[in-house]
Structure 1
Amino acid sequence: MKRTLLALSIGSALAAPALAQQADPHIRTFAYSPDRVQRLTGFMGFQTMLEFGPDERIENVSIGDAMGWQVTPNKRANLLFLKPVDRAPATNMTVVTDRRRYVFELVVAAPRASTADAAYVVRFRYPQAAPIAVAAAPAKPAPTARNTAYSLQGAATLRPSIVFDDGVSTYFAWPEQADLPAIFVVGADGVEGLANAVVRDGYLVVDQLAPRFVLRSDKASATIANGAYGARAEKAR
């Protein structure tokens, strides 16, 4: 009898770590489907990391309400960091990678909602069938005739080490260990919107020119002004 109890005790002790290692409720895994709109609930003061397939690279991110959410890719372009910055109404976001496309509905949790329901990491489980092909973007010309007439103001921690344009696209680079901020484009009319940025050849590239860009991370911000915008914009037309 004692041997049986001892065996049960040891078995329970060995099983306990396994139970403890079961999925954390803050880490969610969803079955991927190109025809599914995935609902994500954001909590003020918390960020969610979207983790795409290890063989995928983010090419485009488009969001309905760019002012209500901060969206930032990592340098390898396989992770996307998402967090609400305002209690804005629900909106949508589309992410296109070089292998798949994802559609999300974004909502902000009520002020008194329990953060126990917050998703810190969102992953996807993929079917064995071949992924949906996404048309490759046309090749961009190598950066030539660089315009480096950019001035920077604001938080020093957000300022890129390199910023220039080639008359078509604007290129940003940060030190190796730096966190990438969200990039916003300020048009000639002063209207601000989230930039459609992709990682390419070691740069975070915005495929347009603009008189100003705004970088944001949490409450910090920095402004980058294009001193040659007028002349470059005319040539790009």
Structure 2
Amino acid sequence: MRAILIAAVLASLSPVAAQAVQAPRPGATDPRIRTVMYDPDQVVSLRGFFGYQMMLEFAPGERIENVSIGDALAWQVTPNRKANLLFIKPVEAAAPTNMTVVTDQRRYSFEMVARKATGPRQADMAYVVRFLYPLETVAVGVEPPPPPPPERRNTAYTYTGSRAALPSLVFDDGRFTYFQWAEGVSTPALFLLSADGSESIVNYSVRDGFQVVEQLAPRFQLRNGKDVTTVINGAWREPSAGVDAPRPNDAKTARAAAGGRP
């Protein structure tokens, strides 16, 4: 009897599990042009293929603000200049991962896997995934005004490594770092490069054609497949703790803080 009850419970849960991920529906004219109804409480499943890119199309007037991906090395993610389209492409073999896209109107959750393609007309391949929206959530397509340019700019940036991943413009305003690539150039993955050579993912948003990293750093690492570029902030200075910072509690720490002076 207990086994029957367990089986009944599992059977009742299976429809819920099946609905946890939403797959885009193939179009009638071309199955590679797919649509999916927006639901903030569902994860959208995306299947990428090596050698092929996929375009995600959001509502008219909707602008991408943040993109966060679980495995930024294995996937290339590039917003267009208007920030209403997102191009994604797998570049390295890796385990399934996830991606979150935050726009000025909505939040989207994705589950992503990559496969080898047998050809451009593979049955489960998508070239375009277009979101459809219930009437009550459709926003008026009004372009927001671009943010004012920062008054203070540090443009003392240099680079080493590949030119293939090189941005057309880099500067900071004393708080954030701005990266811009020429139209049509594949945008690389952005990482913070530490003094020990380790890399860490950075948070960024898309604003008026710029990828805006929400911090300053001495070095950033850009990766696009095998192309690696290091961008160096020539004006970097270690932040001062300030006059109100805690004082050292022992003589050794005090000498180190004073530059070794007794």
CA distance in 1, matches of 2:98, 2:135: 28
Per-residue CA deviations over 1:133-181 (Å, capped at 9, x if unaligned) read xxxxxxx895243222211233435423321111211012334x34251
Match of 2:8 in 1: none
| Residues 39 and 106, structure 1, Cα contact 8 Å, conserved in 2 | yes
2:66 to 37, 60, 65: 60
2:43, 2:156 → 1: CA distance?
42
**Counterpart check, 1:50 vs 2:67:** no
1:185 and 1:218 map into 2 onto residues whose CA distance is 14
Post-superposition offset of 1:197: 3.1
The residue identity in structure 2 corresponding to 1:206 is: V
Please give the alpha-carbon distance, in whole angstroms, between the structure 2 residues aligned to 1:51 and 1:92: 18
* More moved, 67-76 vs 150-159: 150-159
Structure 1 counterpart of 2:156: 149
2:130 to 89, 112, 123: 123
Aligned to 2:198: 191
The corresponding residue for 2:222 is 215
Alignment of 1:72-221 (within 5 A): 72-109=78-115, 111=116, 116=122, 117-130=124-137, 143-175=150-182, 177-188=183-194, 189-221=196-228
Q: List per-residue Cα deviations over 1:71-117 (Å, max 9, x = no partner).
A: 111111111111112221111111010011100001122x4766512
Greater mean alpha carbon deviation, residues 181-190 or residues 88-97? 181-190
Deviation of residue 203 (structure 1)?
2.7
Q: Distance in 1 between matches of 2:137 and 2:58?
A: 16
The reply to whether residue 37 of structure 1 matches residue 37 of structure 2 is no
Matched to 2:105, the amino acid is R
In structure 2, do the counterparts of structure 1 residues 171 and 218 end up closer, same or farther at CA, with 3 Å as the change threshold?
same
Q: Is the 8 A contact 2:68 2:203 kept in 1?
A: yes
Gap change, CA 1:44 and 1:97, over 3 Å in 2 = same
Which consecutive unaligned segments of at least 5 residues does structure 1 have?
1-20, 133-139
1:67 is aligned with what amino acid? L
AA in 1 matched with 2:45: R
**Inter-partner Cα distance in structure 2 for 1:70 and 1:174:** 14
C-alpha distance 147-126 of structure 1, shift in aligned 2 (>3 A): same
C-alpha spacing 1:165/1:24, structure 2 compared with 1 (3 Å): same
Give the residue type in structure 2 aligned to 1:171. Answer: Y
Identity of aligned residues (%): 54
The amino acid across from 2:205 in the alignment is V
8 Å Cα contact 2:176/2:213 also seen in 1: yes
Matched, 1:28 2:34: yes
Secondary structure (helix, strand or coil) at the match of 1:129 reads helix
TM-score normalised by L of structure 2: 0.69
Q: CA deviation at 1:199?
A: 2.7
The alignment covers a number of residue pairs equal to 206
Structure 1 residues 164-173 or 220-229, which shifts more?
220-229
Q: Which runs of 5+ in 2 are unaligned?
A: 1-26, 140-146, 242-262
